[in-house]
Structure 1
Amino acid sequence: MMKLLLSLTLIWALSSTGEALVCQTCTTSACNVTVPLKCSSETMCITAALEVTSEQQIIKGCASSSVCPAIGFHTYSINLGGSSALVYAFCCDTDNCNSATLPFPAVPAANSLQCYSCDTSDCNNPLQCKGTEDRCFQTSVRFRSTNVAVLGCASTNMCAAAADLGQLPFLPSVGNMGPTCCTTNL
């Protein structure tokens, strides 16, 4: 009897696999229509309100642990001088838990950190960091067969996600990178 019970338990454990998470995902750029999406390997659902260089966007979908390391609200921020992104996100781990739409983040106040940023020819431009931007950010990206320096301010979680993903979350157009982040001024 014990062997039968052990065999049945083992068969059940091997055959029962966790169901994939189902998250709401946007079907339009305004995200006013969503549909359920079965996630592949992602472990969380995300809903996010982004302000990317003065353009607002709503994102809903599946998220990796690099972007959603824990359940709850997260603020991601990066400022590269000429472009910036401020993201207010909610991560959750139950089916369709990302149906709410978040408000857009308010522009944060300046903090005490300053970092360098680049313009077309100079990477010695002081940049005042804001809100959760507690790291100076430095990397290079490939642009038209040339490596281009990218410097600025970033939040700790933005640095961690960029290092894990090899690109900036919410700003994939910046390109692939391996960032270096530090906590000292300039």
Structure 2
Amino acid sequence: MKNLIQKLHSKSRKMTSLMGIISLLSALKATCDGLSCTQCESRTSTSCTGISVTCSPGYYCGSELSEIISGSGYTSIYARRCTFQSLCDLKFSISTGHERSRSIALCCDTDYCSSTIPPMPPFNANPNGVVCASCDSIITPGCNTSETIQCNGDANICFHQFVKNGSTVKTVGRGCASRSLCDYFRHNRNSRDTTELDCTNGVTALQQNLPFLYFMFLVYCSVSII
């Protein structure tokens, strides 16, 4: 009887060990395969249903909302998809003069999960004092223009978006952007990427007008002397 109990205990330990190994392998498989997420898009609401996709490692189930104002009117796009981890909780605005847009991305880390995106406040049309060069290669081929734009809201950094093809660099857009978008591109730049984004602080409206103000000051001084 004693030997039988020992054998049963031995089998129980082996079974427990086996179950632990199976659980570990299952967890590793899930990690390697990535999360299962819903992929869909809607232009009429902030919810959608679609196909199931398996994300690559390092990706979460993301919910993204983008709002765009252009010459053709207002567009809202809601999407669910696999989203790279560094894009999670990213919120930014961008403007090229011909188009203004803003986006927010939220993520969750369980299969088929969905994050609730809070309502966006109205677009902030108040100038923030920053002036940037402005162009869109779709509107102006080659971005050959000297246009500038007054930045609004939290888009207080000047961006230069360009495409690299070997030693050839082609500008595709200039305008205003949120610092969060510039920070993302700076920290997640890949040597294999062909599209890049460079950002600068730009100039304020006062700095832009300094040459004119200096000229008027010289004119004033000349008149005073006469």
In the other structure, the counterpart of 2:36 is 22
Task: Give the RMSD, CA atoms, in angstroms.
Answer: 3.7
Report runs of 4+ in structure 1 exceeding 6 Å deviation.
11-14
Q: Determine if contact 2:107/2:115 at 8 Å carries over to the other structure.
A: no
Aligned to 2:200: 182
Give the percent of matched residue pairs that are identical in Structure 1 and Structure 2: 27
Q: Once structures 1 and 2 are overlaid, which stretch shifts more, 92-101 or 149-158?
A: 92-101
User: Could you say which residue in structure 1 is the equivalent of 2:49?
Assistant: 33
Q: Structure 1 residues 88 and 149 mapped into 2: Cα distance closer, same or farther (>3 Å)?
A: closer
- Does the CA-based 8 Å contact 2:43-2:76 persist in structure 1? no
Q: Distance in 1 between matches of 2:189 and 2:37?
A: 21
For the structure 1 residues 27 and 77, does the alpha-carbon distance in structure 2 shift closer, same or farther, using more than 3 Å as the test?
Answer: closer
**Structure showing greater Rg:** 2
Q: TM-score, normalised by structure 1?
A: 0.68
CA shift, 1:27, in A, is 5.9
What is the 5 A alignment of 1:62-81? Answer: 62-68=82-88, 72=89, 74-81=90-97
Are residue 132 (structure 1) and residue 139 (structure 2) matched? no
* Partner SS for 2:87: coil
1:43-54 equivalences under 5 Å are: 43-52=59-68, 53=70, 54=74
Q: Secondary structure at the match of 1:128?
A: strand
**Would the aligned equivalents of 1:24 and 1:99 in 2 still touch at CA under 8 Å?**
no
Aligned to 2:114: 98
1:115 is aligned to 2:152: no
- TM-score (structure 2 length as normaliser): 0.58
Describe the shift of the 1:158–1:146 C-alpha distance in structure 2 as closer, same or farther (beyond 3 A).
closer
Whole-angstrom distance in 2 between the partners of 1:182 and 1:122:
19
Q: Deviation of residue 89 (structure 1)?
A: 2.5
Residue 220 of structure 2 corresponds to: none
The offset of 1:128, in angstroms, is: 1.7
Structure 2 alignment gaps of length 5 or more: 1-16, 205-226
**Secondary structure at the counterpart of residue 161 of structure 1:** helix
Task: Give 1:49 shift.
Answer: 1.5
Paired with 1:106 and 1:48, the residues of 2 have a C-alpha distance of 17
Q: Which has the higher contact order (CA 8 A, sep 6+)?
A: 1
1:31-52, Cα deviation, whole Å (9 max, x unpaired):
6333443212243222121113
**Match of 1:17, SS?**
helix
Report the Cα distance in structure 1 between the residues aligned to 2:103 and 2:132, rounded to whole angstroms: 20
Identify the residue that residue 210 of structure 2 maps to in structure 1: none
| Amino acid in the other structure paired with 1:147 | K
More helix by share: 2
Question: What is the Cα deviation at residue 59 of structure 1?
Answer: 1.0
Q: Which amino acid aligns with 2:197?
A: P
Change (3 A) 1:50 1:116: same
**C-alpha contact (below 8 Å) 1:27/1:35 kept by paired residues:** no
Question: What does residue 152 of structure 1 align with?
Answer: 175
The runs of 5 or more residues in structure 1 that have no matched partner are: 1-7, 167-174
CA contact (8 A) 1:88 1:105 kept: no
Query: Which piece of structure 1 moves more, 57-66 or 123-132?
Result: 123-132
